Amino acid sequence: MRADQSGDFGSFLAHDELRDSQGEMIVDGIAALGAMGFLLASAPTGIGKTAAALAAALDASRKSPEPKVVMFLTGRQSQHRIVVETVRRINEKLDSETGKIRLVDLIGQQGMCINEIRHEHRALFSRLCADKRGSRTCKPWLADSELIRPRILHDPLHVDELVSLCEGRDDEKPYGICPWKVARESASYADIVVCDYNHIFVEAVRESSLSAMGLELEDIILVVDEAHNLPDRIRRGFERRITMKVIRDAIFEIEEHSERIQSEGASLEGEDSDANESELDRLRRMKAAMKRLRDELPRWFAEIEGGLEGSLGEDQQVSMTDFIERFSGILAQDVERAVEIDALVRMLQRIRVDIDENDEELEDETACMRLAILLQTCMQNHDSPAFALVHDKMGGEEHRLTTHLLDPGVVSGGLLEMCSGAIMMSGTLFPPEMYYDLLKVPQDRVSIVKEYTSHFLSERRPVLIAKDVTSRFSDRGDENTARIRAHIRSILKQTPGHVAVFAPSYAMLEQILLEDEDWIVRSRRMLQERPGASKEEMDRVVDTLHRLRREETPAILAGVLGGKLAEGVDYPGNILDAVVCIGLPLPPPSSRQEALRSYCEERYGKQSAWRYASSQPAVNRLLQAIGRPIRKAADRALVVLLEKRLLQRGYKFCLPKGVHLVESIDSGRTERHAERFFRNNPDPAKHIE
C-alpha cells in the first residue's frame, strides 16, 4: 500500500509504503484520537505499530484547536531509540510548511545524571540528589535550561545524545547542565515526550513530573507501548509489604532522626528552641507508640495465624478494616502518649536518616516510609473491594502483610478520562476487549478495540504444540519430564543456531534442564537467567549470543516465562532460531489469586472471571515469549509449546486467530517438523529493517 494512496493517513508518515495492517491502524488511530477517544490495538510485531501510532497521534495533535503533547510511554529503553529514529524519518519527509516534530527523550533521573553521585546505589542517589537540589549545591542543576533548550528541540535526540550534549562545558555553563532538568522543562515545548509509564500512572511521579513539565493531563495524548504490561505495572505501584522487622527498623530510624534533631537544637534559642523541643516531644511519643506496636502486633498475628491452615495456598486474606482498628487500638493504649494513626503516618513520612552506602541490603525506601505507605493505602481503601490485604509467613517464619490492588482500572480509568485520548498497543494486547475492561476505558467516548493481523507470522513463525506433555501438577512425574526432555532434544538436534527454553518457574527450569545434563546436546553453551539479575546483565546476554553466532557456537538460553529474558529483552538480528516454552505459567493457588478471581467474577461475570484472572494472563506470557525471536518481517524462528492443555477449548480460545498452530503427537514428530522448517528456512535474516 503506497502512503500517498489516501489522505486518510495524514502527513506524518515514516515510510513511503505502508503494510496493510499498518495503514489500517493509522486510519483507526486518526478516527479515534480525532474524537478524543481511544484505540486499543492488538498489533503483532512486524506491522510497524510504532510508526502507525505516531502518525495518528501527531495528526490528532496538530489538528487539535489547542495543540497537544504526545506522551509516548514505554518500559523499555530500546523502544526509546526506535521512537527517536522513527521521528527522524518523519521529519525527513515533511515539507517546510508543516514544521519539524520536536521530541524530548526522558529516562530515570539517575540514568541522566552527570553529577558524581550518579554512581551511588539508587536509594542513596535519590536522597543525595534531593539534598543537593534543596541546598542548591548541585551546579549542573542551577544552570539555566534556556541555554540548551533550542538545540534539544531542533532535532530529535536519543537520551544518551542529550546527556552528552548537556555534559559539555563552556563559559555560560562551566559545570554542564542537568539533562533531567532540561528534558522535563523542555517537555511543554515538544510535540512528543518519550518516557516511562510512571510519569502518568504513579501518582507521586505524575504530580512531580507534570508540574515540572508545565503540563496537565488534558494537554496530553497518550501512546502506551507494550500496553499488556500496564495493568500489572499499576497493580505493583500499590503493592507494599511490612514485617515486624520493618517495625523494628522504623524505631531505629526514629531514634537516629531524634538524635539529629536534638543535636541541631543545642545551639538554638528562643522560639526556635521551643519548636525544636516540641518536635522532640512528638518524636518521643511516636517512638513509644512504635514500641507498643512492636510488642502488641505479634499477638494479633498469633490470633489470625490459624487462618493460614484453611487457606488455599500459604497465605490468607485479612480485613483491612480489622487491621486498621487493631493498629489504632494499640496506638491509643497509653492515654497520656496516645497517637492517632493519621498523625503517625504524617510523622513517619518526615523521618530522615543517613544511608550507609556499604549496606548490601539497602532498600529504596526507609522502613518508616514503607510503613507509612502501607498504612495510608489501608486507611484510604479499607472499604473498597478493589484492594486486598494478605497475611503470610516469609520464609515460613516471620509474619508479613502485603497490600494488593486487584483492579487497575481504579487508577487508569480516571486518568484516561482526563487525557485527550490514547492509543494503547501491544503484540499481546489480547484480547483487546479484556484490556478495555481492565483499564476502565471511558465508555462515553469513542473507542476502537481491534486485533490486527500480520500475514508473515504464520509462514515465518509456525507454532508447534506437543500433545503428550504438560506442566499440570497432577500429571507431573518422571515419564512426563522424560517426554519434555525428548522434545527439547529433538529441537536442539535440528536447530542450527541458538534455542531459548522458558519454563514457568526457576524450580522447573532447574529440574528439567540442569538436574541431569547428560541428555543435553553437548556442543551447546548454556546461558541461564538468574533470579534478580539486572537489566545490564540481561543486555550482556544478547551481546554474548551475537558473539557466539560469529564463533559458530550454538547456545541454549534458559529463562522463566514472565522473566526478563522472556519479556524484557529484545533479540535483534534474528539471533534466536527457536523458542521452546514448557507448560503454562498459571498463578499458584493463593488468597491473593482467589480475591482477584472473586473480584473479577463480581465485576465481569463468572464466564470472564477465570479468563481475566488466570488463563489469559498465562497465555499472554507465552505469547510474549514466543514473540521474542520475531522482531522484523524478514526474521524466522520455530516455536514449540510443550503443553497439551493449549489444545483444549478453554485455553485455545485465549490464542489469537492469526497464530499458525501445528500439532505434534510426540518428540519424533517434533523433530521431523523442525528438520523440515530449517531445511526450508536454513538461514536467519540477513538484514535488520
DSSP 371: H
Residue 544 lies in a domain: yes
Closest CA to 593 of 615, 565, 577: 615
Q: What is the mean pLDDT of residues 598-618?
A: 94
Phi, psi of 347 (to 5 degrees): -70, -40
Average pLDDT for the chain = 90
- pLDDT tens by residue, 375-408: 999 999 999 999 999 999 887 788 999 999 999 9
Place of cell 486485533: 451
| H-assigned helices in 35-114 | 49-63, 77-93, 109-112
Contact between 591 and 649 (Cβ < 8 Å): no
Alpha-carbon span 689 to 687, nearest angstrom: 6
**In a shared domain, residues 553 and 621:** yes
Q: Which residues contact 601 (CB under 8 A, 6 or more apart)?
A: 609
Residue 587 lies in a domain: yes
pLDDT at 78 over 70: yes
Residue 155 lies in a domain: no
**In a shared domain, residues 462 and 395:** no
**In a shared domain, residues 472 and 365:** no
pLDDT of residue 154: 92
Q: What is the mean pLDDT of residues 90-119?
A: 90
The least confident of 266-270, 292-296, 670-674 is 266-270
| H-assigned helices in 467-590 | 478-494, 506-509, 535-550
Alpha-carbon span 548 to 544, nearest angstrom: 6
User: Containing H/E element for 39?
Assistant: strand 38-42
Q: Which long-range contacts (CB under 8 A, 24 or more apart) does 94-97 make?
A: 94/11, 94/12
Domain termination site, one of 377, 405, 433: 405
% of the chain residues with pLDDT over 90: 66
- pLDDT tens by residue, 572-591: 889 999 999 999 999 999 99
Alpha-carbon span 498 to 488, nearest angstrom: 13
* Strand bridging mode 463-466 / 661-664: parallel
Q: Assign residue 10 a region (left: φ > 0; alpha: ψ between -120 and 50; beta: otherwise).
A: left
pLDDT of residue 91: 95
Q: Which residues contact 477 (CB under 8 A, 6 or more apart)?
A: none
Place of cell 511490612: 242
pLDDT of residue 268: 73
**In a shared domain, residues 401 and 472:** no
Distances 618 to 511, 580, 642 between C-alpha atoms, Å: 21, 15, 14
Identify the burial level of 220 via C-beta atoms within 10 angstroms of its C-beta, where 0-12 means exposed, 13-18 middle and 19 or more buried. Answer: buried
Alpha-carbon span 591 to 604, nearest angstrom: 20
pLDDT of residue 358: 55
Residue 424 lies in a domain: no
Say how many domains are in the chain: 2
- Domain region containing 299: 241-405
pLDDT of residue 3: 53
**In a shared domain, residues 462 and 356:** no
**In a shared domain, residues 353 and 498:** no
Taking every pair of Cα atoms in the chain, the longest distance, rounded to a whole number of angstroms, is: 89
Identify the CATH number of the domain in which residue 371 sits: 1.10.275
pLDDT at 688 over 50: no
Q: What is the mean pLDDT of residues 208-216?
A: 93
Sheet containing 555-560, strands listed edge to edge, beginning at the edge strand earlier in sequence: 525-528, 555-560, 498-503, 576-582, 638-642, 463-466, 661-664
pLDDT of residue 689: 43
**In a shared domain, residues 376 and 507:** no
Neighbours of 517 (CB within 10 A): 9
Residue 274 lies in a domain: yes
**In a shared domain, residues 250 and 328:** yes
The residues facing 661 across adjacent strands are: 463
**In a shared domain, residues 359 and 489:** no
**In a shared domain, residues 332 and 470:** no
- pLDDT tens by residue, 309-335: 766 678 999 999 999 999 999 999 877
**In a shared domain, residues 573 and 653:** yes
> pLDDT grade, residue 308 (50/70/90)?
confident
Alpha-carbon span 287 to 293, nearest angstrom: 10
Place of cell 549545591: 137
Angle between helical axes of 320-331 and 341-350 (0-180°, round to 10): 80
> pLDDT grade, residue 362 (50/70/90)?
low
pLDDT of residue 397: 80
Identify the CATH number of the domain in which residue 651 sits: 3.40.50.300
pLDDT at 518 over 70: no
Alpha-carbon span 207 to 189, nearest angstrom: 19
Residue 601 lies in a domain: yes
pLDDT at 608 over 60: yes
- pLDDT tens by residue, 19-70: 889 999 999 999 999 999 999 999 987 788 999 999 999 999 999 998 899 9
- pLDDT tens by residue, 618-674: 999 999 999 888 877 788 999 999 999 999 999 999 998 777 789 999 999 999 999
Closest CA to 141 of 119, 112, 103: 112
Which amino acid is located at 523 in the chain? S
**In a shared domain, residues 529 and 652:** yes
pLDDT at 521 over 70: no
Residue 17 lies in a domain: no
Q: Is 339 helix (H, G, I), strand (E, B) or coil?
A: coil
Q: What is the mean pLDDT of residues 451-477?
A: 85
- pLDDT tens by residue, 412-433: 999 999 999 999 999 889 999 9
Per-residue cell: 46 = 512486524
Residue 418 lies in a domain: no
Which amino acid is located at 547 in the chain? R
